[in-house]
Amino acid sequence: MKKSKDSKIKKEIEQKNAFKYKIENKRYHTWNYHLRERFDSKVFKVSINAGFTCPNIDGKISTGGCTYCSKEGSGDFAGNPRENLVSQFDSIKKMMEKKWSNAKYIGYFQAFTNTYAPVEVLREKYETILSLDDVVGLSISTRPDCIEDDVLEYLSELNTRTNLWVELGLQTIHDNTSRLINRGHDYKAFEDCVMRLRENGIDVVVHIINGLPGETKEMMMDTVKKVCKLDIQGIKIHLLHIIRDTAMEKMYNKNMVRLMEFDEYIELICDQLEIIPQDIVIHRLTGDGKKEELVGPLWSLKKWEVLNAIDDELKRRDSWQGKYFFRE
């Protein structure tokens, strides 16, 4: 009797959550769909390395950084920090213009911690990019423990003038894992930062990583469940990949890290998508590194095969983002 009742409830949730954000063959709320709806145009993110560092590197919190972090501060595909911001932006923009000549752009401050500086320094860097032609917004990648009150005040003012996204690295809700990977902050710091940003009307994009050392599938699912109960507007789901000359590579060489298999990852992503509310924008579903620096998993280099497999699995299941999401 209970099984029949549970099945009925599940069916009612499924019918209530019919998918609303379809574009092409995608069964999840893509970043591309979101941008086209907002700007009625093709929009690209231009990744910039603005020369910041991180309190987890310079000794304020710790040294060495997060164990998975590359020497580029997770900005492996950002611009060349030896060039000024405008030169970085223009060189990447020119490459994109070969395919899309009438696009608009979002300046993406990606490498290291992009709010970790005095507010006057941030203002100079952000405003330089905002002043460029066809720039319609900024996306700023940072840590939840690196937004001081004066920085938040500036971000709030900036949010009234442009389209602003603040991308917060969380990686996991599990504090034991966070300590193992040397994150340098706990989950409470993340929750508090989300609340402060949302009180100022700023859109929040959360970064999480699947496959962190010691984490089970249930733990990874719990991370998605918990962050989706918060007032967030986007999520980036990364695959843990091992980069050469990182602390994580040393852990891997000591058999302390197990790399996820292709099929295992596809199944997990689809399970996670099914419980993410449809209005949360999916900014990323995998992660990759530079070919010459990647230790593994090597299958992550074939990004389009990963994304196509996710599409195929959702279709096989007749499933979609938010199909089984239930707001308590």
Phi, psi (rounded to 5 degrees) for 203: -70, 135
Q: Looking at residue 6, what is its pLDDT?
A: 62
- DSSP SS3 for 34: helix
Residue 23 has what DSSP assignment? B
Rg (CA), the chain: 20
- Structural domain contains residue 63: yes
Determine the average pLDDT of the residues in 26-37.
94
Of 203, 178, 198, 180, residue with least CA distance to 188: 178
- Structural domain contains residue 323: no
Give the structural domain span for 168: 19-317
Q: How many domains is the chain partitioned into structurally? A: 1
- Structural domain contains residue 309: yes
The percentage of residues in the chain with a pLDDT greater than 90, rounded to a whole number, is 80
pLDDT band at residue 77, thresholds of 50, 70 and 90?
Answer: low
pLDDT band at residue 8, thresholds of 50, 70 and 90?
Answer: low
Q: Looking at residue 95, what is its pLDDT?
A: 85
- Structural domain contains residue 119: yes
- Structural domain contains residue 215: yes
- Structural domain contains residue 243: yes
Q: Looking at residue 135, what is its pLDDT?
A: 96
The winner for highest mean pLDDT among 88-102, 191-205, 275-289 is 191-205
Alpha-helix residue ranges (DSSP H) falling in the chain: 2-16, 31-39, 85-97, 119-130, 149-159, 175-180, 187-199, 217-227, 247-253, 262-273, 303-317
- Structural domain contains residue 2: no
- Structural domain contains residue 325: no
Q: What is the CATH number of the domain that holds 312?
A: 3.20.20.70
Of 85, 13, 99, residue with least CA distance to 47: 85
Determine the average pLDDT of the residues in 165-186.
97
* 54-58, 140-144, 146-150: range with lowest mean pLDDT: 54-58
266-310 pLDDT, tens digit each = 999 999 999 999 999 999 999 878 899 999 999 999 999 999 999
Q: Are 211 and 269 in contact (CB under 8 A)?
A: no
- DSSP SS3 for 33: helix
